[in-house]
Amino acid sequence: MGNKEHTILRTVCFHCGEDLPALRYQLDDKEFCCAGCKGVYKILSENNLCNYYAYNDNPGQRFNSDSRLEYLDEESIINQLIDYRQGSSSIITFYVPAIHCSSCIWLLEHLYKINPAIFSSRIDFLKRQVTINFNHDEISLRQLVQILIQIGYEPLISLQDVVKENKNADSKALIIKIAVAGFLMGNVMLFSFPEYFGLSGLEQQFQELFGWLNLAFAIPATFYCGRDYFLSAITSLKHKHINLDTPLALIIAVLFFRTAFEVIFKAGPGFADTLTGLVFLLLMGKWLRQRTYHHISFDRDYRSYFPIAVTTLANGKEKPVAINDVKIGDRLWIRNGELVPADAILMKGNACMDMSFVTGESEPVHKVLGEIIYAGGRQTGEAIELEVIKPVSQSYLTGLWNNENYHADRSKQNFNDSVAKYFSLAVFIIAFASAGYWGFAGNTHKAWSAFTAVIIVACPCVLALSTPFTLSAILSVFDKKGFYIKNTDAVEELAKCDTLIFDKTGTLTSSDSAKTTFKGSLSSAEKVLVSSLMRNSTHPMSRHILSELNADRFYTVADFVEIPGKGLHGTVNGLSIYAGNLSLLPSHLRRVEGNGVHIVIDNKYLGSFSVEQQWRPGLKELISTFDNKFKLQVLSGDTDKDEKTLRAIFPAAATIAFKQSPHQKLSVVLAHQQQKLHVMMLGDGLNDAGALKQSNFGVAITDNINNFTPGCDAIMKGSALNLLPAFIQLSRDGLTIIKISFAIAIAYNLIGIYFAVQGTLYPLVAAVLMPLSTITIICFTTLATGFFAHKRKLK
């Protein structure tokens, strides 16, 4: 009863909404968590842009940028980046990962208020792109990027921006085809109506006109809109196998010729309505299958990770050079935090490589002079000089991507194509049988009409539609849960998986929630001393420790020295403080062991900070649901320090391997596939890119979906990992739904065939039967998908 309840007011940063540390930055009665956020607010308020905060609470994002932008002054690089240039204005498109809400749109479209040399800027929100039109005589590209960085929207300028691949043209051509097909269908339906309702004697003159008009409309429907089906059928027949497009092409052809025949010889109204309707629906199905979700970009590969330029040394002078122009023998100057773009030999300096990009190993590796440093390593520490021994495109990493394994045709036979064979066969048997029957009865006219009618009515159109409808409904369910699949074909692959391979770092552990722990003890006064020292450093470790200690006051630090890759030391209140790894400590204190940041104050060793990755929550339950159903395996590029923990999580049957190189991971996947297993690989990025790409279903797990993602079939938010069993289950349900809808289609076809074999199929029956069956199927797949999504608790 005597418990007093305290309401604790937790205030958050005005700009980014993060919790405020004990020491705050204040401006205009508003509180900020760091100098960066305060800086952005200051710029916005000076330019009268505080509306930014009106549309959303705390719209900002915390950032710290230390990008070097000298390369943006190089004419050759500017020309590669700029979309268009005329007179004094240039247009450029940036990819800005930080775009996430309507405030971002508002601010980035008001750039002209910050600098009048910017004429206009427009955002494509889903693609996270901003297109800026600016006056390049008054503002350089580098200044423009600097403005964006100042307001917290650093563009990601990578090799991807230079090596563009245009994938948009295909989908545009399809949309144009759909528009044409819809136009043709509408008009043909209009001219077929009189035929449906019957014409009086007066209107006989029109019957012929409508017939000819319909035929005229059928020509573009067949030869323009339906062209792809013919092409696909021809290529598949060349390869001696039948896909779903083969019977479709056949039906389109038969429909067209019979329509032409009937119109020219005045034998009947023809099937132009069925033909145009069929083509339109087929193209719609194709569009659904192609439609991907724009907020995820699957075409970002290693190029988006590589910088666009690198600093070279020529005659002792630094010069930024575009990556593509780096030649063998060039001297590269790699600073702290920069990436080595090509395999090179260390010539000068103290290399301390973070190879996590390649191996997943987070501890930096020391390299000695003359040693080869592979592309993809990140230098931590002082700047080093390297000599290139392989051009960028032949390097180790790109080799992973362009491994010839991928060019081997995995001949993905989806359900549709495998059914198409039997379907076509059955249709032909029935068609020939009925034609033969009427032929023997001496009625050649009936034989011909029965033959064509069977082929027309036994259309696998429904089959071609049920798959995209079902699978795209499943895709949108997954999409809402943070599981983004590349396309509908991949869903079928997911359903077939029987082997799960996990990478450890970033997949089973979460890269976001690293925990800083201190072994030893610090008094509160000592905490303030350590924080004061750490505050002067921008190293991520220092930041982690600083937020962990959360001191409320700082002292000034004298003689501050930061030795990159090693640590810091300085003097605070007359006490000398060391923080860093062992090599930095005074020699008589080097009896301690271990990695991490060791703290020494006034020649007294106090302990060490270490950052440990956290396992994702619910991991054990997740793995136990897979037990007995899947073959499980863990492949980690890391050392075996977590073996005990992993053994406790995984069942005894699972194999766990450490220190796996990317190529080893790839060969493990290949070995499984040779045993006819369907492999699903879950990894986090580059060091398993090869394995992800080779596996039947590769999932890149990431805690930030804007990050770089390798070539994979799906991207999953780390938080959605626990739903994986439900995802697999739903994809299997999807295949069941497709099979049921196939049965429904067969039932409809049997009704049609009943009329067709008698040679009495009237065009009206065909014209009604097709849309009716299509509508039934679409309703059924939508309802059934919804039902299963509920059942698997995904809705």
Partner 1 sequence: MNILYFLICCSMLVALIFLAAFFWASKTGQHDDVYTPGVRILFDDDPQSEKSEEDHFSS
List the one residue from 40, 96, 98, 123 that touches partner 1 (CB under 8 A).
Answer: 123
Residues in the chain, how many?
Answer: 795
Q: Is 743 helix (H, G, I), strand (E, B) or coil?
A: helix
Query: What gap in Å lies between CA 714 and CA 162, rounded to an integer?
Result: 25
**Which of 22, 179, 671, 747: binder of partner 1 (CB under 8 A)?**
179
253-272 binders of partner 1 (CB under 8 A): none
476 touches partner 1 (CB under 8 A): no
Query: What residues contact residue 454 under an 8 Å CB cut-off, 6+ apart?
Result: 427, 430, 431, 434, 753, 756, 757
Choices 100-108, 491-499, 515-523, 556-564; region in contact with partner 1 by CB under 8 A: 100-108
Give the nearer residue to partner 1 in terms of CB position, either 107 or 322. Answer: 107
Q: How far is the CB of 47 from partner 1 (least distance, A)?
A: 11
Taking residue 645's Cβ as centre, other Cβ atoms within 10 Å add up to 14
Angle at 771 between CA 766 and CA 772, to 5 degrees: 90
Instruction: Check residue 231 for interaction with partner 1 (CB under 8 A).
Output: no
Longest C-alpha distance within the chain, in Å? 115
Say which residue the tokens 């077929």 belong to. 192
Of 358, 393, 395, 396, whose CA–CA distance to 378 is shortest? 358
* Contact between 186 and partner 1 per CB under 8 A: yes
Contact between residue 320 and residue 215 where contact means Cβ atoms under 8 Å apart: no
Instruction: Identify the residue among 12, 91, 106, 140 touching partner 1 (CB under 8 A).
Output: 106
Smallest distance from partner 1 to CB 124, Å: 5
How many Å from the N-terminal Cα to the C-terminal Cα in the chain? 43
By beta-carbon proximity to partner 1, the closer residue of 179 and 264 is 179
The stretch among 123-131, 350-358, 369-377, 630-638 that binds partner 1 (CB under 8 A) is: 123-131
Helix (H/G/I), strand (E/B), else coil: 287: helix
Residue 176 Cβ vs partner 1, minimum distance, rounded to whole Å: 6
Shortest distance, CB of residue 279 to partner 1, whole angstroms? 15
Q: For residues 48-87, which are near partner 1 according to CB under 8 A?
A: 48, 51, 55
Pick the closer one to partner 1 by CB: 175 or 783. 175
Least distance (Å) between residue 125 CB and partner 1? 4
180/345 with CB nearer partner 1: 180
We find the least distance from the C-beta atom of residue 133 to partner 1, in angstroms, to be: 15
Interface residue with partner 1 among 22, 176, 558, 747 (CB under 8 A) is 176
User: Please, is 674 exposed, middle or buried when counting C-beta atoms within 10 Å of its C-beta (0-12, 13-18, 19+)?
Assistant: exposed
Residue 209 vs 264, nearer CB to partner 1: 209
Binding segment (CB under 8 A) for partner 1, from list 86-94, 105-113, 367-375, 439-447: 105-113
445 token code pair: 């006219």
Question: Phi/psi at 504 (nearest 5 deg)?
Answer: -90, -65
- Bridge partners of 597, per DSSP, are 609
Q: Which of residues 326-355 bind partner 1 (CB under 8 A)?
A: none
Cβ-based nearer residue to partner 1, 60 or 377: 60
Task: Map tokens 């001191």 to a residue.
Answer: 551
Query: Residue 563: beta bridge partners?
Result: 567
Stretch that binds partner 1, among 69-77, 174-182, 534-542, 602-610 (CB under 8 A): 174-182
- Tell me the closest approach of the beta carbon of residue 484 to partner 1, in angstroms: 17
Residue 129 CA to residue 104 CA, distance in Å, equals 11
Binder among 63, 112, 125, 396 for partner 1 (CB under 8 A): 125
d(CA 518, CA 20): 22
Which strand (E) or helix (H) includes residue 501?
A: strand 499-503
Q: How far apart are CA 130 and CA 149, in angstroms?
A: 13
Q: Does 198 bind partner 1 (CB under 8 A)?
A: no
Q: Least Å distance between CB 79 and partner 1?
A: 24
172 in contact with partner 1 (CB under 8 A): yes
What pairs with residue 95 in β-bridges?
A: 129
* Interface stretch with partner 1, choices 180-188, 473-481, 730-738, 742-750 (CB under 8 A): 180-188
Nearest CB to partner 1, comparing residues 176 and 267: 176
Question: Which tokens in the block code for residue 221?
Answer: 């429907």
Among 68, 79, 164, 190, the residue binding partner 1 under the rule CB under 8 A is: 190
- Residue 126 contacts partner 1 per CB under 8 A: yes
3-state DSSP of 57-102: CCCCCCCCCCCCCHHHHCHHHHHHHCCEEECCEEEEEEECCCCCCH
Residue 751 touching partner 1 (CB under 8 A): no
Nearest to 522 by CA among 613, 599, 432: 599
Per-residue tokens: 101: 């809400």
- 102 lines the binding site for partner 1 (CB under 8 A): yes
Give the number of other CB atoms < 10 A from CB of residue 86: 7
Q: How far is the CB of 165 from partner 1 (least distance, A)?
A: 17
Neighbours of 765 (CB within 10 A): 17
Least Å distance, CB 296 to partner 1, is 14
63: phi then psi, degrees, rounded to nearest 5: -150, 155
**DSSP-derived pairing of the beta strands 365-367 and 351-354:** antiparallel
User: Which neighbouring-strand residues pair with 36?
Assistant: none
Q: Which of 57, 73, 138, 175 binds partner 1 (CB under 8 A)?
A: 175
The CB-of-156 to partner 1 minimum distance in angstroms stands at 19
Binding mask 199-218 for partner 1 (x = CB under 8 A): ---xx--x--x---x-----
Q: CB under 8 A: which stretch of 146-154, 167-175, 480-488, 747-755 binds partner 1?
A: 167-175
Q: How many residues bind partner 1 (CB under 8 A)?
A: 28
Identify any residues that bridge with 373 across adjacent strands, giving them in sequence order.
344
Closest distance to partner 1 from the beta carbon of 766 (Å): 24
Closest distance between partner 1 and the C-beta of residue 164, in Å?
15
- Choose, by CB under 8 A, the member of 63, 112, 119, 183 that binds partner 1: 183
Contact indicator for 37, 60 with CB cutoff of 8 Å: yes
CB 78, min distance to partner 1, A: 24
Stretch that binds partner 1, among 176-184, 618-626, 648-656, 769-777 (CB under 8 A): 176-184
Q: Which of 23, 91, 149, 180 binds partner 1 (CB under 8 A)?
A: 180
Strand order in the sheet with 378-379: 365-367, 351-354, 378-379
Give min distance, CB of 300 to partner 1, in A. Answer: 19
Q: Tell me the closest approach of the beta carbon of residue 108 to partner 1, in angstroms.
A: 11
Q: What is the rounded CA–CA span in Å between residue 262 and residue 215?
A: 10
Of the candidates 30, 127, 142, 678, which one interacts with partner 1 according to CB under 8 A?
127
Mask: binding to partner 1, 700-739, rule CB under 8 A, as x and -? ----------------------------------------
Kindly indicate which of the ranges 169-177, 224-232, 238-246, 561-569 contains the residues binding partner 1, using the contact rule CB under 8 A: 169-177
Quote the radius of gyration of the chain (alpha carbons, Å): 33
Judged by DSSP in three states, 259 sits in helix
Is the CB of 109 or the CB of 371 nearer to partner 1? 109
Which one of residues 18, 31, 124, 382 is an interface residue with partner 1 (CB under 8 A)? 124
635: its two tokens: 């492949």
Cβ 48 to partner 1 shortest distance, Å? 7
477, 730 Cβ separation under 8 angstroms: yes
Residues 6+ apart with CB under 8 A from 131: 83, 91, 92, 93, 121, 122, 123, 124
Find tokens 């004094």 and name the residue: 88
**Residues of the shown chain interacting with partner 1 in the complex, contacts defined by CB under 8 A:** 48, 51, 55, 102, 105-106, 109, 122-127, 168, 172, 175-176, 179-180, 183, 186-187, 190, 202-203, 206, 209, 213
